[in-house]
Amino acid sequence: MSIKPTNTKRATSSQAIPPIATLKKKPSYHAIWLSDVHLGSKDCKAEYLLQLLKQVDTDSLYLVGDILDVWALKRRVYWPESHNKVLQQLLKMARNGVKIVYLPGNHDETLKPYSGFHLWDLSIANEYIHIGVSGRKILMLHGDQFDGEVCVGRAYAKLGDHLYDLLLWLNRCLHQVRGLMGYPYWSLASYIKLKINKAQQAISDYQAAVSRYANIKEVDGVICGHIHQPALEHKHGILYANDGDWVENCTLIAESMQGEFQLLKWDEINATTQLIKSFSFDNNQQTAQRHVA
Between residues 115 and 8, which one has the greater pLDDT? Answer: 115
pTM for this one? Answer: 0.79
Q: Percent of the chain scored above 90 by pLDDT? A: 61
Which residues, at least 6 apart from 84, have a Cβ–Cβ distance to it below 8 Å? none
Mean pLDDT over the full length of the chain: 83
Predicted local distance difference test score (pLDDT) of residue 244: 95
Residues 83-109: what's their mean pLDDT? 95
Predicted local distance difference test score (pLDDT) of residue 18: 41
Predicted local distance difference test score (pLDDT) of residue 148: 80
Question: Mean pLDDT lowest for which of 86-100, 122-136, 163-177?
Answer: 163-177
Which three-class secondary structure state does DSSP give residue 36? coil
Contact at 8 Å (CB) between 253 and 261?
yes
Amino acid at 160: G
Predicted local distance difference test score (pLDDT) of residue 226: 94
Going by DSSP bridges, is the β-strand pair 238-242/251-256 parallel, antiparallel, or unpaired? unpaired
Three-class HEC string of 189-233: HHHHHHHCHHHHHHHHHHHHHHHHHHHHCCCCEEEECCCCCCEEE
